[in-house]
Amino acid sequence: MKELPAINFTIAQSNLVRYAGASGDFNELHTVPQSAIERGHKNVVAHGMYIMGLSSNAIMRWFPNSKLQHIKVRFHSAVYPGGKLTINGKWTIKDAVTQGSIEIIDNDGQLKLIGNFKLNKSIV
């Protein structure tokens, strides 16, 4: 498996507001700080689907001429506003199919997401 260039980004609280509106998921865990705090969190929690969306963005950036055929992710721990995250990826070609793995960690090394993906054709 070959390494893909790491992508770094920071989650702003306003990113989550915008994502809530765009996706239609207004669950208070993601939108109302007080409600998230009452449920034991330090702030609103990023939507898992937002983090998955950022993962699929990374894959499309790594392989701009390919199409995603399959993606599977597991959400490991909550992402909060201000979180500094790194997306790492690895890839290989097996049976003429480009496939890879992806992970997101924060700057304390805590795992946020792991996953794997397949693209519809290999492009090197």
Partner 1 sequence: MDLSHTEIFHFEPFRIEEGKVNEFAKALGIDEVFTDNTAVPPTFFTVIDYWNDRDFYQMLEEFNIPSNNVLHGEQSYEYMVDVFIGDTISAKATLLKTLHKNNKIFYFLETIYTNQMKITVAIGRATLIELELDSA
Q: Give CA–CA dist 53/41, Å, rounded.
A: 22
Least distance from partner 1 to the Cβ atom of residue 58, Å: 11
Least distance from partner 1 to the Cβ atom of residue 36, Å: 11
Task: Report the residue number, 24 or 109, with the smaller CB distance to partner 1.
Answer: 24
Q: Does residue 84 contact residue 99 with C-beta atoms inside 8 Å? A: no
Cα separations in angstroms, 94 against 14, 75, 97: 40, 26, 5
Coil, helix or strand at residue 113: strand
Least distance from partner 1 to the Cβ atom of residue 104, Å: 14
> Of 81, 71, 77, which Cα lies nearest the Cα of 111?
77
Least distance from partner 1 to the Cβ atom of residue 3, Å: 22
**103: how many CB neighbours lie within 10 A of its CB?**
19
Structure tokens at 35: 């409600």
Which stretches of the chain bind partner 1, using CB under 8 A?
A: 15, 18-19, 21-25, 27-29, 39, 48-50, 52-54, 56-57, 60, 67-75
